[in-house]
Amino acid sequence: MTSKPLSIHDLAAMKRQGEKIACLTAYDASFSALIDNAGIDAMLVGDSLGMVFQGRTSTLAVSLDDMIYHTRCVTAVRRRAFVIADMPFLTYPDPLGAAVNAAKLIQAGAQMVKLEGARFEVVRFLVDQGIPVCGHLGLQPQSINRLGGYKVQGIEPADADKIIADAQKLQEAGAGLLVLECVPAKLADEISSQLVIPVIGIGAGVDCDGQVLVLYDMLDIGVGKRPRFSKNFMQPPVAIAQALGNYLIAVKERRFPTVDHSF
């Protein structure tokens, strides 16, 4: 396996060639090495560490220092997988502030930062500074207090139309990837077909250009209830490395997610 890290151009080429992109969250060096060795294409240092590492009920308490620390841990040992780091709650209130904070994640080893919502001017400014950006639409965990819960987004036609429009505007602003979380599979398929950039789904159906899951959910070691859109890849009982390999194959062969993991 190549020791050169994949780039955003490699992921874009995978979309053009019809190859599904497999992504998992990662938070430390040990799991980073296992994920990388399994051949997973991308790792997301997610602010989901607030729940799975810190035992909190949401991502809102995760700090920028937390994200920098875990990004350094993940990137210290990875050889191939593309690494994306989440920008935590209220670290991108305006373009300049976002750039200062995003630079710290890039300096910690991330190849791209991810931010939630229709922040077109922020995305445009970051890209202009040479910082690759991944957008995130649909369910936005950092807005959980406004949303009132972890609910499927884009069900109503007007809401679906807004997500489509926002996705197109994020691409126009320069985003190189888009994560769609908890949206109907039909909507995710439509967006994936319209956009040139890769669309990574989580609870968004099998027709996205790739899939991402929270590592602890798919290994069934999380402290909370596993979301419906996730799957326990440790059943039947296997070694962790085998579970990671099974996930990779299932994504590549379009065997995950199934309708049972979609909306």
Please report which residue ranges of 108-156 form alpha helices under DSSP H. 120-128, 144-147
| Per-residue pLDDT at 170 | 98
Q: What percent of the chain has a predicted confidence (pLDDT) above 90?
A: 96
Confidence band of 222 (pLDDT split at 50, 70, 90): confident
Residue 178 has pLDDT above 80, yes or no: yes
Q: Over range 48-59, report the average pLDDT.
A: 95
Asked if the bond preceding 227 is cis, omega within 30° of 0, the reply is no
Over 70: is that where the pLDDT of 1 sits?
Answer: no
Q: In angstroms, rounded to a whole number, what is the distance separating the alpha carbons of residues 59 and 11?
A: 27
pLDDT of residue 2: 53
Residue at token pair 């996205």 = 208
Say which residues have a Cβ less than 8 Å from residue 125's Cβ, sequence separation at least 6: 95, 96, 98, 99
Candidates 137, 143, 144; CA nearest to 203 is 137
Residue whose C-alpha is closest to residue 107's, from 134, 135, 129: 129
* Distance separating alpha carbons of residues 135 and 126, to the nearest angstrom: 12
Please give the CATH superfamily to which domain 8-261 belongs.
Phosphoenolpyruvate-binding domains (3.20.20.60)
At 118 the pLDDT is: 97
The percent of residues above 70 in pLDDT, for the chain, comes to 99
pLDDT tens string 143-157: 999 998 899 999 999
pLDDT at 54: 95
pTM of the model: 0.97
Q: Kindly provide the b/e burial profile for residues 232-244, where b requires at least 16 CB atoms within 10 angstroms of the residue's own CB.
A: ebbeeeeebeebb
Residues 137 and 115: their CA atoms lie apart, in Å, by: 9
Could you list the active site residues?
Answer: 181
The whole-number pLDDT of residue 3 equals 67
> Domain extents for the chain?
8-261
CA distance 243 to 235: 8
How would residue 90 be classed by pLDDT, with cut points 50, 70 and 90?
A: very high
Across-strand partners of 79? none
pLDDT grade, residue 214 (50/70/90)? very high
| Averaged pLDDT, 58-63 | 97
Burial (CB count <10 Å: 0-12, 13-18, 19+), residue 188:
buried
